[in-house]
């Protein structure tokens, strides 16, 4: 974006204006609601950063499937690269970038597994094709050819017939429980607004700090 491009500011001064918000989950909800209506492409998409056993960072996109005061939930294959990295090092960072709103939210925290009951309930809402895909895909393992995957999907489809597809035992969710949440909003001339919330532990209160852009 050019520094001189005119920007619509009115939205900041309403629900999402963080000068008035002292609770980051409430602020996240306000921004997320605006993203759902104002961001045409995947408003639930977020970058998920993890750390490998060798200390090497890794990052990929996932979809936010739930947010509560406990944290931010996404689903995946537990044997995938991210699943293995989180098992070895249960801390992660998330970044939402709502381009159309010119906003970013960054989150860092510890990661815990969702309960089997939560994962079952979410899996049951997925389209049948995605449920079958979860059985057929050994996510992140080497795949000999596209045809081999299509065969695996066909085999699973035949095996399931018309019956309910249960959740694969190695497919589940993670919740990132934040200790840091940062809200960033584009301002003209790169004089952006940044506010960081930090807490020592999930049962402690948040401290809010404005940061230089």
- Is 91 near ligand FMN (CB under 6 A)? no
From CA 37, how far away is CA 42, in angstroms rounded? 11
Q: Give the closest residue to 124 by CA, choosing from 63, 77, 167, 175.
A: 167
- Is 26 near ligand FMN (CB under 6 A)? no
- Is 140 near ligand FMN (CB under 6 A)? yes
Cα of first residue to Cα of last residue in the chain, in angstroms, is 16
- Is 80 near ligand FMN (CB under 6 A)? yes
* Residue 166: count of CB within 10 angstroms of its CB: 12
User: Which window, 8-16, 27-35, 76-84, 105-113, contacts ligand FMN (CB under 6 A)?
Assistant: 76-84
Q: Tell me how far CA of residue 43 lies from CA of 98, 100, 181, in angstroms.
A: 7, 10, 18
The minimum distance between CB 67 and ligand FMN, in angstroms, equals 14
The minimum distance between CB 20 and ligand FMN, in angstroms, equals 31
- Is 95 near ligand FMN (CB under 6 A)? no
Residues in touch with ligand FMN (CB under 6 A): 42, 45, 58, 60-63, 74-76, 80-82, 139-140
């Amino acid at each position: 974006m050019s520094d001189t491009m005119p920007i619509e500011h009115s939205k900041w001064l309403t629900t999402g204006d963080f000068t008035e918000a002292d609770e980051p989950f409430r602020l996240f909800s306000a921004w997320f609601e605006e993203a759902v209506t104002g961001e045409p492409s995947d408003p639930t998409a977020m970058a998920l950063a993890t750390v490998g056993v060798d200390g090497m960072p890794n990052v990929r996109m996932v979809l936010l499937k739930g947010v509560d005061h406990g944290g931010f939930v996404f689903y995946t294959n537990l044997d995938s690269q991210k699943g293995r990295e989180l098992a070895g090092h249960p801390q992660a960072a998330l970044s939402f970038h709502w381009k159309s709103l010119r906003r970013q939210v960054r989150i860092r925290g510890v990661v815990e597994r969702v309960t089997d009951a939560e994962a079952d309930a979410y899996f049951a809402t997925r389209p049948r094709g995605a449920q079958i895909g979860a059985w057929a895909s050994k996510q992140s393992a080497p795949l000999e050819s596209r045809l081999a995957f299509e065969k695996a999907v066909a085999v699973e489809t035949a095996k399931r017939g018309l019956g309910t597809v249960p959740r694969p035992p190695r497919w589940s969710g993670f919740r990132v429980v934040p200790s840091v949440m940062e809200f960033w909003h584009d301002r003209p001339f790169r004089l952006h607004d940044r506010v960081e919330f930090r807490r020592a532990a999930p049962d402690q209160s948040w401290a809010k700090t404005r940061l230089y852009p």
